Amino acid sequence: MSVNGYKITSINNLLTMSNSNHHNHCHQGFVDLGETQLDTDRQRRCGFPEVVYAEGKTTEMLLKIFDEFSNNKTDGFATRVSAEKGEQLLSRFPTGRYNAVGRTFRLPGESNPYHGGKIAIITAGTSDLPVAEEARETALWTGAEVLMLQDLGVAGPHRLQARLPLLADSRAVVVIAGMEGALPSVVGGFVACPVIAVPTSVGYGASFGGIAALLGMLNSCASNVTVVNIDAGFKAGYVAGLIARV
């Protein structure tokens, strides 16, 4: 239909076009949610669905994303979720789980198709726990079995030594430390598996917000130690989960 030479499209046609575009984008491996192009093909290519980095996203945007996860029965996972956003997500999705310490939100799908072996997560101090919880929730989401050991820093090395037998069957060990970041090298000298070192921003002035720990870990003499970014519990948990599947 046209008016004064201008083509007018009916509301029904617009709705049909919108639904068609949504279908086509799904078929292409992504869904157009406006501000977000949700990668629905990630699991096929990479083994796990897309993970949502919630910091900087509005609550409305997160709700849209998790609506899509829910509709597709995807095991949805988000990191850096504030308490306020976590409360809103739980209100919409009461079967979800919010970890207030690790700031993660998970909405389980129909079933978790991922199955992996055992990994261990070790913190140097209790202050490293928020990063450790992010790593733990991520690793659990990947299907790994997780052993958490806390407060085993180098100031009391006998604490680590007493727990070494628990690490014997781990496929990977995530070691989280701030300050001078020495613990991953020590752990690396006792285990026959990859050690994923996570520097944290815990420490006094000369720690430079985790840079001192990062540089120490990058210079580790232990051959099995590799390093992720400062406070990157998610990255460590994800990589450990991939290793546990091998």
Give the pair of three-digit tokens for residue 73: 């029965």
Give domain status of residue 19, yes or no: no
* pLDDT mean over 189-193: 97
pLDDT, tens digit, 9 for 90 and up, residues 24-76: 445 588 888 888 888 888 888 888 889 999 999 999 999 999 999 888 888 99
Single residue among 67, 91, 112 that ends a domain in this structure: 112
Give domain status of residue 228, yes or no: yes
For the chain, the average pLDDT equals: 88
Give domain status of residue 61, yes or no: yes
Give domain status of residue 8, yes or no: no
76-79 β-sheet, strand order: 52-53, 76-79, 104-107, 97-99
User: pTM score, two decimals?
Assistant: 0.85
Residues 138 and 237 in one domain: yes
Residues 91 and 177 in one domain: no
- Beta strands at 76-79 and 104-107: parallel, antiparallel or unpaired: antiparallel
For the residues of 158-212, what is the DSSP string, one character each? HHHHHHGGGGTT-SEEEEEE-TT--HHHHHHTT-SS-EEEEE-S-SSGGGGGGHH
Give the pair of three-digit tokens for residue 226: 């590799």
> Which pLDDT score is estimated for 119?
97
Residues 151 and 240 in one domain: yes
When pLDDT is cut at 50, 70 and 90, the band that residue 115 belongs to is: confident
Give domain status of residue 12, yes or no: no
Structural domain that includes position 37: 33-112
